[in-house]
Structure 1
Amino acid sequence: MQTLSNIFWLGTKELRSFFRDFVLLGLVIYTFSFAIYVQGHSNAQELNNGSVAYVDEDNSELSRRMIAVFLPPYFKTPVPIGGGDVDHLMNTAAYTFVIVIPPNFERDVLAGRSPELQVNVDATAMVTAGLGYGYIQQILTTEINNFVSRNEGKFQSRSQNIAKAPATLSVRVAFNPNVTTAWFTSVMGIVNNVTMLAIILAGAAIIREREHGTMDHLLVMPVSPFEIAMSKIWANGLVITVAVFLSLEIVVRGALKIPIVGSVPLFIGGAAIYLFFATAIGIFLATIARSMPQLGLLYILVAMPMNILSGSNTPLESMPPILSSIMMFSPSTHFVSFAQAILFRGAGLSVVWPDFLFVAFVGGLFLFFALLRFRAIAVQAG
């Protein structure tokens, strides 16, 4: 009971220190609010308001239908231009896409001659160009096929020269029907920020004690290194856990209107287990670093690869086999795995408990290493 009491009161001291540090407090608020909202909107991989111009040299019913199908929010209203203005407008980046419809296009299509349709793309806007070209190709192909089908009886040659698809592909998208990037990036932003803040807050707590000279006081007091470490783990973990919950409810569900399929309490429980690991590694790094700049350098060496290679940005299957095998020993990979399973696919504890257990085990190892470093510091202080 004395150990629990010491851990509790040392943790409350840590909480008071945190709430008096307005820089760290502001960092936590910003990281789990505005930063998540901006990441959800600014990192979108969908086409939005693509600028389109067209040269209609056919002026037929088909050409007018083809232009009319470019609608917001994917495209802006298409603008008619002259054939001689295409190069100049593309060079000045006035439009990302310019569609040129040749003369007699409708007649040649209905006759089965397979006429060429030109689409000019400004690929300096790489993401918009890559996505937009695929959209345009699909939109125009669908509109041409629909137009030809409506006029099938008028032109018998059409059925002789245009081959029909041998099969119809039916695609069903699970868990994210419109493949909206914000649904993924916002939640993964929270996951990545958990690692960042847990290491920084726990490490900063130790560095602050050393810079203020209170670490020597703690080490000579009748408290053990275990009690000191656990007090900082539960205090900083509590702050981040509350921030994660509020971010999911206010920013993700409220502001971004993103549905959460699975159990939020189960995810919060898993996040708390991961915070045990992340704060433990933050304490371990702080026992090595002598100052906050050194802690920042160690964070770059340790946490940045964990976040980048965890599967939150690129699936493990897309990585080289050796690298993906190594990352399976990283708790951040398991954190991303059970976060996606719970929040996106509605998985239960029966599915994610192996990830919970692995993260807790590795967290215990790093806590053990941190305590060994604490004892070494205590011997030096003695």
Structure 2
Amino acid sequence: MRVESTFLRNTWTLGIKEFRSLSRDAAMLFLIVFMFTVSVVAETRERPETLNRAAIAVVDEDRSQLSTRIIAALHPPQFITPERVDLADMDRGMDAGRYTFVLNIPPNFQRDVMAGRSPALQLNVDATRQSQAQTGAGYIQNIINDEVRAHVQRLRAPPVQPVELVPRAMFNPNLEAAWFAAITAIINNVTMLGILLTGAALIREREHGTIEHLLVMPVTPLEIMLSKIWAMGVVVLVASTASLYVVVQGVLGIAVAGSIALFAVGTLLYLFAAASIGIFMGTIARSMPQFGLMAILVLLPLQILSGSLTPRESMPDLIYHLMSLAPTTHYVAMGQSILFRGAGPEVVWPEFAMVALIGAVFLALSHHRLRRMIGEMQG
């Protein structure tokens, strides 16, 4: 019992030391605040696939009721109010970069539509604006099709369709990418800081020589590891939870479907795994520049291939099965299930179990590496 009490007291005291050390590191404090505030807002409002206030002009050579309806349907927030231009000004506006899209409605467009013909409309797209060009062209095509269909059905009886498809958008009725962008940014930032803070804390002690001071104290490598894990885990947990409440729900006004408390429990469990990975990397790297380069090689695959940016089902089978061994994959699935779809513990417990198992494996590997590193330093 006395050994357990000493173990807990040493782990607690060393964790408090980590808080004090972090409080004197202005760069790390700035990084934590920035990643969970400015970075989340920027990721949400500058999402590449989101079409927002695209510049569009219309050459209306038909000047009919149908062409007027089409122009009126091109409205904010996807587009700015369409500017009517002449055919001669179309190319000049595109060359000058004033418009991303220029729609040319030909003469007799409405008459040809009502006669059952298939008239062609010309849509000029500035493809140098890559993020808006592809998405916007699809938006405009759907808008034109909807307006033509509604206009034809109003003036003559619509044909009887054998099947009626009624789509239902679940979990995001308005199909707003910002709903997913903000929460995905928090999930990715938890991964980044969970690994960087613990690994950097160990490297910093080696560079400053304070690791030698710990070696002459009656503390074990496991106590040193756990102190860094719980201290840095608490910092990231508090920052990520505050970001969900203040930035996501408050500043951005995004609704969270599930329980933030359940997500916080999953985040705490995941931080145990991420911090263990960070310590493992810290025992391999000899300096902070080496650790930074190693972090790039580790963080990029974890974030890109975990399912937060691209669905795992669309990846090659080898990558799909390989990434199932990474805790980030299960954390992303858990976070999306809880925050996007409102899942409860009965749904996400397999992800909780996998994160705990992977974290225990990396904790054992990190403990072995740290004992070996300390042995080399004492030798």
TM-score range, shorter chain: over 0.9
Q: Where does 1:296-307 land on structure 2 (aligned, <5 Å)? A: 296-307=292-303
Residue-by-residue CA offset, 1:197-238 (whole Å, 9 max, x unaligned): 111110111111111211112122111111111111111111
Aligned residue type for 1:73: P
Q: Of 175, 178, 195, which aligns to 1:179?
A: 175
Identify the residue that residue 189 of structure 2 maps to in structure 1.
Answer: 193
The answer on 1:234 being equivalent to 2:233 is no
Q: Of 102, 108, 120, which aligns to 1:104?
A: 108
Identify the residue that residue 35 of structure 2 maps to in structure 1.
Answer: 31
The answer on 1:335 being equivalent to 2:331 is yes
Q: Which runs of 5+ in 2 are unaligned?
A: none
| Residues 44 and 122 (structure 1), Cα distance of their counterparts in 2 relative to 1, 3 Å cut | closer
Aligned residue type for 2:257: V
Identify the residue that residue 279 of structure 1 maps to in structure 2.
Answer: 275
Identify the residue that residue 207 of structure 2 maps to in structure 1.
Answer: 211
Residue-by-residue CA offset, 1:131-173 (whole Å, 9 max, x unaligned): 22222112112222222222228xxxxx8xxx76543321101
Distance 1:351 1:99 in 2: 48
Aligned residue type for 2:326: S
Residue-by-residue CA offset, 1:232-290 (whole Å, 9 max, x unaligned): 11111111111111011001111111111111111111111110011111111111111
Consecutive aligned runs of 4 or more in structure 1 exceeding 3 Å deviation: 163-167
Residue-by-residue CA offset, 1:165-193 (whole Å, 9 max, x unaligned): 54332110110111111111111111111
Give the number of equivalent residue pairs: 374
Identify the residue that residue 53 of structure 1 maps to in structure 2.
Answer: 57
Give yes or no for contact 1:312–1:336 (8 Å, CA) kept in 2: yes
Residue-by-residue CA offset, 1:38-87 (whole Å, 9 max, x unaligned): 11111152321122212222222222222222211122222222222322
CA deviation after TM superposition for structure 1 residue 194, in Å: 1.0
| Residues 290 and 109 (structure 1), Cα distance of their counterparts in 2 relative to 1, 3 Å cut | same
Q: Of 239, 257, 260, which aligns to 2:256?
A: 260
Give yes or no for contact 2:263–2:339 (8 Å, CA) kept in 1: yes
Give yes or no for contact 1:57–1:101 (8 Å, CA) kept in 2: yes
Q: Identity of counterpart residues, as a percentage?
A: 50
More displaced 10-residue stretch of structure 1: 348-357 or 165-174:
165-174
| Residues 304 and 150 (structure 1), Cα distance of their counterparts in 2 relative to 1, 3 Å cut | closer
How high is the TM-score relative to the length of structure 2? 0.95
Q: Which runs of 5+ in 1 are unaligned?
A: 154-158
Q: Give secondary structure in 1 for the equivalent of 2:76.
A: coil
CA deviation after TM superposition for structure 1 residue 113, in Å: 2.4
CA deviation after TM superposition for structure 1 residue 306, in Å: 0.9
Identify the residue that residue 156 of structure 1 maps to in structure 2.
Answer: none
Q: Of 342, 348, 352, which aligns to 1:352?
A: 348
Aligned residue type for 1:146: A
Distance 1:253 1:377 in 2: 45
Aligned residue type for 2:12: F
